[in-house]
Structure 1
Amino acid sequence: MANRLVTVEFTEDGFAIVRMRNGQNRLNIAFLNSLDQALTEVERNKDCKAMITTGEGKFYSNGIDLEWMSLQDSETILKFQKALENIMWRVMHYPLPTIAAINGHAFAGGAFLAMSHDYRVMRADRGWISWNETHLKLRLGDMLLDLLSKKVLAMKSIREAVLFGKRVTADQAKELFLVDAMAELLDLIPKAKQLALEALGPNGIDRDMLQVMKQDLYVRPSGDKPFLPEAKL
């Protein structure tokens, strides 16, 4: 367990805490495989009522591992593309309430990962959420644009955080409806639990029905064009 890039802790009060534990938590094949295994582990636990993801230290996730990608052949890049697409949609269609407890920076792919959750609570005193592709001269492909259209509905939010790639603090993110709440670091997980309990209500929600409703609301397009960042110099 200690050597895994992503670990799972089941709490006595019925929550799964999925911890990303690989420094900046950059997204590559090995990391996505570990995250996928964690999602499966949580889903198999029928006593679990909600899932919370978080990182450690300075980062929630610093996005796609572009340095790793630059060393891969085309076949590996295609496998990574499919794995990333599957993870995003798996979280969006997860049969439990999902909350991203954003403990630090969430950039680019890391911000997309956070947005794929049902709720987000962000550390109040440290960290930015940002889509910095404009500054990196990278384009967003169809899948990521589709995710934004489903999860970020305010044009002001798209303009500030995505188009101009501003580094958005927690209070700004809440104003832009990118996150649902702010909390100090020690209160981050308790606040995430609170959001989950409020979502479930006093009588809970059937897992299968929740997943079906998510699939109906967030329809996964078929035949997406490649969505990996594309250089536009």
Structure 2
Amino acid sequence: MSTDKVTVEFTEDGFAILTMRNGQNRLNSKFIQLLNENLDKVLRNKNCKGLITTGEGKFYSNGVDLEWMMKQNKEVHLNFRTEIQGLFWRILHFPLPTVAALNGHAFAGGAFLAIAHDYLVMNSKKGWFSMNETRVGMRIPPATLEVLSVKMKNKQAVREAVLFARSIPASEAKSLGLIDEVGELSTLIETAKKLILGALGPTGLDRDMLQVMKKDLYPRTQLDNGNTKSKL
């Protein structure tokens, strides 16, 4: 399997920049595997201060690879549902500060991937933030709804972005609290680094304690099949 569709760069100043390089960066089983493999690389680097994810060109991620999904059987569908929700929760509970640097469009599953991060920064001149499930006639699975419920508290943001499935530009996304900062494409990575440094503070944070706190604040109670499980 080629790994050039997802790369991770460790910068001299201590950050991991994970870049999705597969066009629209649609999510399927192989692409999620590549993302997880690169997240593993980040965890193995004990000198890494924080994780920044981004894309190339017009898209951060255009959501689930529906063309691929249509060719799969029920078993693959169920496995993929487990895989994608596992990815969202892995990012949500990642033991480093995380920033999604939205270079372009973040649609549907791509938007959920983005909000699983601690911070979001967005290109001021290109891209929409859109959870378009209402418009395409799809329900949001329970475990994914739980990601939404713990990360999107502004009722106006829920109404506009989720209920009415609007495509929201950067300036409005910031006013709704969907993202934290807006800037030129060329400044997104530096802005992301500043957010991570601000989160770490002058003394830094212990990885294990940060992950424990994330799990306490954002408990996962839904299994991928909709059943409940006890809090870890």
**TM-score, normalization: structure 1?**
0.94
- The aligned amino acid for 1:142 is P
- The aligned amino acid for 1:187 is T
Aligned to 1:98: 98
State whether residues 59 and 106 of structure 1, in contact with CA within 8 Å, keep that contact through their aligned partners in structure 2: yes
Q: Give ranges in structure 2 of 5+ residues lacking alignment.
A: 228-232
Equivalence map 1:1-233=2 (5 Å): 3-225=3-225
- The superposition leaves residues 184-221 of structure 1 with CA deviations (integer Å, 9 ceiling, x where unpaired) of 01001000001111111111111010000001111111
State whether residues 81 and 224 of structure 2, in contact with CA within 8 Å, keep that contact through their aligned partners in structure 1: no
SS in structure 1 at match of 2:16? strand
State whether residues 174 and 182 of structure 1, in contact with CA within 8 Å, keep that contact through their aligned partners in structure 2: yes
Cα offset, 1:138, TM superposition: 1.0
The percentage of counterpart residues that share the same residue type is 56
- The superposition leaves residues 54-86 of structure 1 with CA deviations (integer Å, 9 ceiling, x where unpaired) of 000000000011111010011111221111111
- The aligned amino acid for 2:146 is D
Cα offset, 1:225, TM superposition: 3.0
Cα offset, 1:163, TM superposition: 0.6
Q: Alpha carbon RMSD of aligned pairs, Å?
A: 1.4
- The superposition leaves residues 89-120 of structure 1 with CA deviations (integer Å, 9 ceiling, x where unpaired) of 11000000000000000000000000000000
Cα offset, 1:153, TM superposition: 0.1
What is the CA–CA distance in structure 2 between the aligned matches of 1:134 and 1:222, rounded to whole Å? 22
Instruction: Report how many residues are paired.
Output: 227
Aligned to 2:230: none
State whether residues 128 and 170 of structure 1, in contact with CA within 8 Å, keep that contact through their aligned partners in structure 2: yes
SS in structure 2 at match of 1:48? coil
What is the CA–CA distance in structure 2 between the aligned matches of 1:223 and 1:162, rounded to whole Å? 22
Runs (4+) of structure 1 moved beyond 4 Å?
none
Q: Tell me which moved more, 217-226 or 21-30.
A: 217-226
Cα offset, 1:3, TM superposition: 4.4
Cα offset, 1:224, TM superposition: 4.1
Cα offset, 1:154, TM superposition: 0.8
Cα offset, 1:222, TM superposition: 4.3
What is the CA–CA distance in structure 2 between the aligned matches of 1:226 and 1:65, rounded to whole Å? 22
Aligned to 1:230: none
What is the CA–CA distance in structure 2 between the aligned matches of 1:100 and 1:91, rounded to whole Å? 10
- The superposition leaves residues 7-64 of structure 1 with CA deviations (integer Å, 9 ceiling, x where unpaired) of 1000000000000010000000010000000100001100000000000000000001
What is the CA–CA distance in structure 2 between the aligned matches of 1:103 and 1:97, rounded to whole Å? 19
SS in structure 1 at match of 2:134? helix
